[in-house]
A = this chain, B = another copy of it.
Amino acid sequence: MGSRPRLDVSRLRTDDGVPKARLAASQLRRHRRIVDAVIELAEKGGFEGVRLRDVAEVSEVALGTLYKYFHSKEDILLFALTEELEKLEHAMAAHPVDGTSPLTRVTRFFERATRGMTYRPQFARAMLRAMASGDVQVASKVAGFHSRMTRLIVAALRGKPVDLSRDISPATSTERERQVAFMLQNVWFASLVGWAGGLHPTRDIASRIRIAAALMHTKSSED
């Protein structure tokens, strides 16, 4: 919260993750080194494994500089999460999920998303922890994540490829679709957190989603 960096280098990208122009190549490289170092450390030791002094050392950047680029430890992990989401978006655009009913498709979508998260368990745990930090700073980014996920879910419900070029706006989906997407995300997130805490195995995540979708009678996308 306190004082912002004097020079707002941290605005390399907008809050939505859109790259801002006008950034020296060396700065982009520094930015990447930082993120890569965090990923590397998170893969080994999860959230706690990411010690910022180590991040600074691995990425060959001064500790103070880290804070010119990011607001906090959580902020870096959220950035990494955004990159994961981008991968998922591209995968969905290139290879839309198939299946004959919205229920099947949406279930398969979440299976894919879950696999992407749980493939590197420690890294996933670190990102989840960052999301759940409850920090106000972070909450708005989480909201952005949410609306991008909604777009993907709606596409899966409809059985159409996502149109990534199209802006994210409520106009592209019905109220009902957004409500369903909202709930499924809630269930997905809660299940991931439970999984991360060791309360249940990976497989349960998918089954909860399926149950939730079924409960909402996700048979046809309008009903």
Contacts and interface: CB of A to CB of B under 8 A. Distances in A.
A190 B189 contact: yes
Contacts of A193: 132, 134, 139
Interface stretch (A63-71, A108-116, A160-168, A196-204): A196-204
Contact of A194 (B135, B139, B183, B197): B139
Given A180-B215, A183-B212, A129 B139 contact: no
**Interface size class of chain A, counting residues whose CB lies under 8 Å from the partner chain:** 35 or more
Contacts of A197: 134-136, 138-140, 142
Contact of A190 (B138, B140, B186): B186
A27 interface: no
A15 B149 CA distance: 36
Interface string A134-154: 111011101100000000000
A139 B190 contact: no
Contacts of A179: 211-212, 215
Given A186-B186, A187-B186, A190-B190, A134 B139 contact: no
Given A134-B132, A186-B186, A143 B215 contact: no
A134 B143 contact: no
Contacts of A172: none
Interface of A: 47, 125, 128-129, 132-136, 138-140, 142-143, 179-180, 182-183, 185-187, 189-190, 193-194, 196-199, 208, 211-212, 215-217
Given A139-B197, A186-B187, 10 more contacts: A125-B134, A129-B133, A129-B134, A132-B132, A132-B133, A132-B134, A139-B193, A139-B199, A140-B197, A179-B215
